[in-house]
Structure formats: structure tokens, C-alpha cells
Chains A and B, each alone.
Chain A
Amino acid sequence: MSLLEELKSLGVDVDGGVKRLAGKQALYERMMFKFLDMMKKSVVSPDFDSNDYGEVIEIAHALKGAAGNLSVTPVYEAYGKIVDLLRSQQPEEARKVLKDVLPVQGKILDCIERHANA
């Protein structure tokens, strides 16, 4: 299966993302590889400090923006909720959302990584 087909099966709105890039599939794929780099560098760990999570908000906010622009819908929606919950001082609820999305996020990133190395 191609990268884009596989991403579709994992809930990524590939058509929306490609459309945003003027229909350029190759550019979209390159952006997905950059997204992988970004996700590796900007990790939000589920054991973040319940009393000091300002930096977590910033990282989650940046991930939300990039995921939204590439239409990585499950990641975009989850990090959007995480940002909202943390801003309304509900760290435990945010932690739950983060734990729920990590397996899906892991599959998406694995998929991109396999194709990047192929």
C-alpha cells in the first residue's frame, strides 16, 4: 500500500491535506516526513507535571497547528482538546486524551517512518 493510502486507512484526511497544497501529492508526502521529524522532536509525555505544564501547552499547540494543516485529523483533534483542557486547568483530563491518542499517533508515525526509509 502507498503511504497516502495507508495514512487514509489510519484516519488521515489525505484528500483535504493534498488539496491545501494545490493538489501536489509529492509535496504533501515531503511535508509528512517533516511532520514526522517535528513529532519526534516535540514530544508531549503523558507523565507531564500536573502543576507546571505551560511548555506542554506550547508544544501541543504547535503540533495541533501542523497536524491540522496536514489534515492528520486524529492528532489534530486530540491535541486541540489537550490544549483546551490544559488552558482550562484540567491536566488529568488532558492526560487521558493524550494517552488515548498515543497508540493512533504511534501507528501514523510508524507508517510515515517506514515509507521514509523505503
Chain B
Amino acid sequence: MGLGSSGAVFIDQKVIDTLSRVTHVPIQLDMVFLVIVILIFRQISFKLTEATKGAGKDDHSFSVVFRSISSCAFGLASVILVAATLYLGYAD
């Protein structure tokens, strides 16, 4: 559940400068918002993974498949959010 390398992204000077200029919001609010969203994504991913553990290996019902895909999607979304923030910081 830790933020890992995304912490390094959020204290990067160029990312901070770009975000505060683009969003017109204090950088602290930007960071808090992003960190909270990332943690929510990871929590959702973790909870969905836990929920699918009870299902059998051959259980391919819609709910199980949907939960598995959603779990994977939110895990990926948290990583993509970090990557997108870094990209935005250096592309602008």
C-alpha cells in the first residue's frame, strides 16, 4: 500500500512547478489529492483481489471475471496516474 517511487515523483521540482502552474491550485492540495486517489485505487484493487480469492479456479462467472478485471484495472490505474503525473510535469 506504500507509495513507493511515486513519492519521488511528487517531490520532483519540475513536476511541482508544472502542476502548480497548470492547475492554479496550491501544490500541497494537488499532491494530497493525487496521493489520496492513488491510495484509494490501490485499496480498491486490494479489496477486489481479496474478494476473488474465495472463488474457485474454474469459476468463470461474470461477477468473478469482472472483479478480477477491475482489480487489475485499478492497480494499473494507480501506476498510470504516477506515470501520467511525471509525464505532465516534463512534457509541458
Q: Are these two chains actual partners, yes or no?
A: no
**Chain A contact residues, CB within 8 Å of chain B:** none
